[in-house]
Amino acid sequence: MVKVYRNVEGVTEYWEAWDDSVDLIFHWGRVGELGETRRLPLSDRPRAVEAFEQEKKRLIAAGFKPLLPEHMAQVVIQYKINGMGSGQDLDKAQVVEDLMNECLGWTGLGNCDGHDFGSGTLNVFCDVADGPASEQIVIDHLQKNGQLEGSVIARRERIGDESYIVFWPTD
């Protein structure tokens, strides 16, 4: 997967490409929005590779570049669990990771970076291009999929920062 960003007059745009073994998929738009998608069949691999190379040149010329990890924010979704956790907690972690990869990926915001659990909590970690823009998207997607209840969700402005801002629950 290739994912690049640029900021134009305060608006962050994303562009990404990956193959799903059937198609080469291009996806682009404004961070926080679903954007647009174009698919090229990998059955015509030379055409797909040529299109990718042309897009890559165009994007570099237009100022797109990868977002370095130290410039990304982090969203942490936390649930209380019993002790060191159970198989059900591991299943929940996988469900929440998949949900976050879906909603953050398709809005250009980022991806899930894994989870940990034990000592009474399950934490799911997400690296995001824009912390504030991710808040409502994360809340809405968890609520829509029945995973919001019992969660505490916070973000920190940069990966490695010590302080978190809790944005769910609002009280």
Residue 22: CATH number of its domain: 2.20.140
- Are 23 and 117 contacting, i.e. CB atoms less than 8 angstroms apart? no
Nearest to 70 by CA among 167, 166, 157: 157
- Are 16 and 1 contacting, i.e. CB atoms less than 8 angstroms apart? yes
State mean pLDDT over 20-26: 94
CA separation, residue 12 to residues 39, 72, 81, 164 (Å): 23, 13, 37, 23
**pLDDT level of residue 1 (50, 70, 90 thresholds):** confident
* Global pTM value: 0.90
State mean pLDDT over 124-140: 96
Average pLDDT, the chain: 94
State mean pLDDT over 59-84: 94
In this predicted structure, what is the pLDDT of residue 17? 94
* pLDDT > 90? residue 9: yes
In this predicted structure, what is the pLDDT of residue 69? 85
- Are 117 and 90 contacting, i.e. CB atoms less than 8 angstroms apart? yes
Q: Where is the domain boundary, 38, 61, 84?
A: 61
Does one domain contain both 42 and 108? no
Does one domain contain both 91 and 158? yes
For residue 131, give the H/E element and its range.
Answer: helix 131-144
Could you give the number of structural domains in the chain? Answer: 2
* Domain limits for position 160: 69-168
Rounded Cα distance, 114 and 106, in Å: 18
Q: Where is the domain boundary, 18, 35, 61?
A: 61
Residue 148: CATH number of its domain: 3.30.70
Does one domain contain both 25 and 82? no
State mean pLDDT over 55-81: 94
Does one domain contain both 133 and 151? yes
Rounded Cα distance, 143 and 153, in Å: 12
Does one domain contain both 107 and 140? yes
Does one domain contain both 90 and 22? no
State mean pLDDT over 143-147: 98
Does one domain contain both 27 and 7? yes
In this predicted structure, what is the pLDDT of residue 70? 86
* pLDDT > 90? residue 81: yes
